[in-house]
Amino acid sequence: MTPNYNLYLVTEESVPMPELLRIVEEAVKGGVTIVQLREKNSSGKDFYEKARKLKELLASYDVPLIINDRVDVALAVDADGIHIGQTDLPLLAVRKIVPASMIIGISVSTVDEAKDAEKYGADYIGVGAAFPTQSKNDAKILPKGILELITNAVTIPAVAIGGIKIENLAEIRNKNIAGVAVVSGIMKAEDPNRAATAFRKALLN
């Protein structure tokens, strides 16, 4: 399937399985186009079980599943993609391990990192943090103007991430981005379906 990065949902840490599946399904029904499972503190077994169930759920909606960091889990559940950070296994090494069809994304925060990502075979980049975020306490906020410099430096899709809210979408929407990655704005919403719908409408306007 051809990935649509428009509304990219990144899951919250350690959400119990039934609740995770409920939130993600409601979000997908509301317009989420791609989902990344992020489980920094889970055991390999728990991560695998969540990934397996999510893959099954998302396949029924034709929505790609991206696994954060764990190449082994991505391979084990036949995920659609893997997202890595700058300190994870190098991009070239990941490309050697995974099938040619698997999407590879990487987090970047500088123009040089973005150019290297494209050079070494990334399919997309996650650029951030665009705004202050509570989902990743160590995330550094991009200096003013850097987001647009990064997205204009590459031809692969760029997804803005970090503190994305309906209220600040207008500030980044015209920065040559392919989409936005949302965490708490959907995962912690009282109604994930309604929250996702609101983001989609705001992105399309």
Annotation-wise, does 68 bind a ligand?
yes
Annotation-wise, does 36 bind a ligand?
yes
**C-alpha pair distances (Å), 107 with each of 31, 155, 159, 205:** 23, 16, 9, 27
User: Which candidate in 38, 55, 70, 175 is catalytic?
Assistant: 38
User: Which candidate in 55, 70, 136, 175 is catalytic?
Assistant: 136
- Of 107, 79, 72, nearest to 91 (Cα)? 107
Active-site annotation holds for 38: yes
Annotation-wise, does 183 bind a ligand?
yes
Annotation-wise, does 175 bind a ligand?
no
Annotation-wise, does 38 bind a ligand?
yes
Active-site annotation holds for 136: yes
Supply φ then ψ for residue 146, to 5 degrees: -70, -35
Annotation-wise, does 134 bind a ligand?
yes
Annotation-wise, does 185 bind a ligand?
no
- DSSP code for 99: -
Annotation-wise, does 78 bind a ligand?
no
Cis peptide bond upstream of 129, omega within 30: yes
User: Which candidate in 50, 107, 109, 175 is catalytic?
Assistant: 107
**C-alpha pair distances (Å), 134 with each of 19, 24, 123:** 21, 20, 27
Cross-strand pairs, 181: 8, 161
Active-site annotation holds for 14: no
Catalytic residues: 38, 107, 136
Give the annotated binding-site residues: 36-40, 68-69, 88, 107, 133-136, 163, 183-184
Binding residue numbers for Mg(2+): 69, 88
